[in-house]
Amino acid sequence: MKTLLIPAVVVLSLCASVCGLRAVETPPYMDVSQSLESRVEDLLSRLTLEEKISIIHADSKFTTAAISRFGIPRRWLDDGPHGVREDIGPDTWQSAGRTDDFSTAMPSGICLAATWNPELGFSEGEAIGQEARARGKDIMLGPGVNILRTPLCGRNFEYLGEDPFLTSQMCVGYIRGEQSQDISSCVKHFALNNQEFERGTINVEVSERALREIYLPAFKAAVQSGGVWSLMGAYNQLRGQHCCENDYLLNKILKDEWGFKGLVMSDWDGAHDTRECALNGLDLEMGTEKKYDDFYLAQPYLDLLKSGELPPGGLDEKVRRNLRVMFATHVFDAGRKTGSINTAAHEAVARRVAEEGIVLLKNESHTLPLDATKLKTFAIIGENATRLHAHGGDSSGIKAFYEINPLDGIVKRAGEKVNVIYSEGYQKNGGADLAERAIAAAKAADVVIYIGGLNHDKGLDCEGADRTNMNLPYGQDALIQKIVAANPKTIVVLEGTMVEMDAWLGKVPALLQAWYPGMEGGNALAKVLFGDVNPSGKLPATFPKKLSDSPASVFGAYAYPGTNGTVTYAEGLLVGYRWFDTKNIEPQFPFGFGLSYTTFKYSYLKLIPGDGMNEIVTAQFEIENTGKVAGAEVAQLYVHQKNPALLRPEKELKGFQKVFLKPGEKQMVSIPLKQAAFEYYDDGKKSWVADNDSFEILIGSSSRDLRLRDNFKLAEK
Contact residues toward ligand BGC (CB under 6 A) are 79-80, 141, 188, 267-268, 395
Cβ closer to ligand BGC: 185 or 703? 185
Name the burial class of residue 336, with classes exposed (0-12), middle (13-18) and buried (19+) by CB atoms within 10 angstroms of its CB.
middle
- Quick check: 384 and 457 in contact, CB under 8 A? no
Q: Distance (Å, rounded) from C-alpha 140 to C-alpha 138?
A: 7
Is the C-alpha dihedral spanning 443, 447, 450, 451 positive or negative? negative
CA atoms of 646 and 437, how far apart (whole Å): 58
Q: Considering beta carbons, is residue 244 or 659 the nearer one to ligand BGC? A: 244
Query: Which strands, in side-by-side order, build the sheet including 566-568?
Result: 241-242, 237-238, 203-205, 566-568
State the minimum distance, in angstroms, from the CB of residue 79 to ligand BGC: 5
Q: For ligand BGC, which is the closer residue by CB, 188 or 351?
A: 188
Residue/partner pairs of 305-312 with CB below 8 Å, 24 or more apart? 305/49, 306/49, 310/275, 310/278, 310/279, 312/49
Query: Environment class of residue 648 by beta-carbon count within 10 Å: exposed (0-12), middle (13-18) or buried (19+)?
Result: buried
CB of 231: closest distance to ligand BGC in angstroms? 12
Cα angle for residues 28, 34, 39 (degrees, 5° grid): 55
Number of neighbouring beta carbons within 10 Å of residue 14: 13
Do the bridges between strand 652-661 and strand 631-641 make them parallel or antiparallel, or are there none, so unpaired? antiparallel
Nearest distance from residue 319's CB to ligand BGC, in Å? 22
Using the minimum distance from each CB to ligand BGC, give the nearer residue, 233 or 369: 233
- Residues marked as catalytic: 267
Count CA atoms within 13 Å of residue 619 on its CB side: 28
Q: How many helices, marked H, and strands, marked E, lie in the chain? A: 18, 25
**Min. distance of Cβ 144 from ligand BGC in angstroms?**
7
Contact 389, 456 (CB under 8 A): yes
- Nearest CB to ligand BGC, comparing residues 268 and 327: 268
Q: Mapping DSSP to helix (H, G, I), strand (E, B) and coil, where does residue 652 land?
A: strand
What stretch of H or E contains 701?
A: strand 694-702
Phi, psi of 515, deg, nearest 5: 50, -140
In the complex, the smallest distance separating the C-beta of residue 141 from ligand BGC, rounded to whole angstroms, is 4
Alpha-carbon dihedral angle through residues 560, 566, 571, 573, given to the nearest 10 degrees: 120
Q: How many CB atoms lie within 10 A of CB 507?
A: 14
Q: Closest approach of Cβ 424 to ligand BGC, in Å?
A: 32
Of 242 and 489, nearer to ligand BGC (C-beta) is: 242
Smallest distance from ligand BGC to CB 472, Å: 27
Question: Minimum Å distance from CB 390 to ligand BGC?
Answer: 16
Of 249 and 381, CB closest to ligand BGC: 249
- Local structure of 648: helix, strand or coil: coil
Q: At what angle do helices 312-328 and 299-306 cross, to 10 degrees?
A: 130
* 335, 131 contact by CB (below 8 A): no
Nearer to ligand BGC, 78 or 571 (CB): 78
- In Å, how far from its chain's centre is CA 630? 29
Residues counted in the chain: 717
CA 652, CA 304: separation in Å to the nearest integer? Answer: 49
Q: How far is the CB of 287 from ligand BGC (least distance, A)?
A: 6
Q: Which is nearer to ligand BGC, 102 or 422 (CB)?
A: 102
